[in-house]
Amino acid sequence: MNARFRHKWSEGRDNQTMKTNNNPIGVFDSGIGGLSVWKELRKALPHESVVYLADGKNCPYGDKSAEEVEGFVLRAIEELLRHNVKLIVVACNTATAVAIDLLREKYDIPFVGMEPAVKPAALTSESGVIGILATRSSLQGDLFRNTCAKYADKVKILSAVGEGFVECVESGEENDAEVAEPIVRRAVMPLLREGADKIVLGCTHYPFLAAHIEKLVEGRGVEIINPAPAVARRTAWLLSEYKIKASESHKAEYRFVTFADDGYLAKITDKAMQLAEM
Ligand code: DGL
């Protein structure tokens, strides 16, 4: 428990006259991927300040052990709490799969986690086959296994690791078709061949490769599902529920933090600025 934060949080919760809170939202990912969520948060919540923490030093998380990832996540949360964040969006499916229960137990602050969007895909699939793209760690976690078990009688759930996806996005090569297209084709084509009509982007890095996936599914009646807008809606709902929305007059500020070097920080900031202009 972070005592300093609990004290602040309790003050806000107990005082019923306090209906706004201009402290920032914390957003965390292993790297650049969580910016796909940051972009939606910014759109949905224009008055909210955001501190975005991209680990960068230990990315990718997807092939590391659960113990290792848990350690990285705890360090990241402690760092965000130093920025007085009022709510944390774990904009990383892998970190959510490994640590969300622990985080909710350990810290008295609302968390929004991410998990592959199996439910909307399963409920809307017409072919009865859905394809989930995610990291190895997310696909092996209990969270994914339990969600799949719920929908296994409705649809056939195929899954594939996006091998090389995270590295491609981290190196800024996502728009280089020669590099990105073969990587994407390798993971997506087997799902299409087996009849998937939904492709779920179960890692926050993957939306940055969506244009290549779109090219592959063109004309096949396949929907690509990116859960980031739903995560932004869930965040908005929680802010209202806990009465910690920023005031309408608050001018949002965006900060970027990393455990990597200044070059990495510049890369994250540049990417965010590009997304803000889109
Ligand atoms: N972007 C993260 C996710 O949503 C983690 C990717 C990685 O570091 O392997 O799973």
Q: Residue 33 C-alpha to ligand 1 middle, in angstroms?
A: 7
Phi-psi label, residue 184: left if phi above 0, alpha if psi -120 to 50, beta otherwise = alpha
Give the fold, CATH level 3, of 3-114+229-276.
Answer: Rossmann fold (3.40.50)
Task: Report whether residue 33 contacts ligand 1, using a CB cutoff of 6 Å.
Answer: yes
Per domain, the residue ranges of the chain are: 3-114+229-276, 118-226
User: For 73-92, what is each residue's pLDDT tens digit?
Assistant: 999 999 999 999 999 999 99
Q: What pLDDT, on the 0 to 100 scale, is given for residue 18?
A: 59
Stretch among 146-155, 198-207, 260-269 having the lowest mean pLDDT: 146-155
Q: Please, which contacts does 102-106 make with residues 24 or more away whose CB atoms are closer than 8 Å?
A: 102/70, 102/74, 103/73, 103/77, 106/1
Q: Which CATH class is domain 118-226?
A: alpha beta
Q: Which of 240, 247, 272 is nearest to 46 (CA)?
A: 247
Claim: this prediction has a pTM higher than 0.85: yes
Structure tokens at 190: 């087997």
Same fold for the domain at 3-114+229-276 and the one at 118-226?
A: yes
Q: What pLDDT, on the 0 to 100 scale, is given for residue 175?
A: 95
Phi-psi label, residue 87: left if phi above 0, alpha if psi -120 to 50, beta otherwise = beta
Are 61 and 53 a contacting pair, CB within 8 Å?
no
Q: Is residue 203 pLDDT above 90, yes or no?
A: yes
- Residue 130 CA to residue 148 CA, distance in Å, equals 11
User: For 13-66, what is each residue's pLDDT tens digit?
Assistant: 444 455 899 999 999 999 999 999 999 999 999 999 999 999 999 999 999 999
- Residue 19 CA to residue 33 CA, distance in Å, equals 32
Q: Is residue 8 pLDDT above 90, yes or no?
A: no
Mean pLDDT of 99-112: 97
| Atom in ligand 1 nearest the alpha carbon of residue 33 | 1
CA distances from 115 to 84, 142, 167, 179, 194 (A): 25, 11, 20, 27, 23
Q: What pLDDT, on the 0 to 100 scale, is given for residue 129?
A: 98
Q: What pLDDT, on the 0 to 100 scale, is given for residue 25?
A: 98
Choosing from 27, 57, 63, 93 the residue with most ligand 1 atoms within 8 A of its CB, the one to mutate for a pocket test is 93
Q: Is residue 273 pLDDT above 70, yes or no?
A: yes
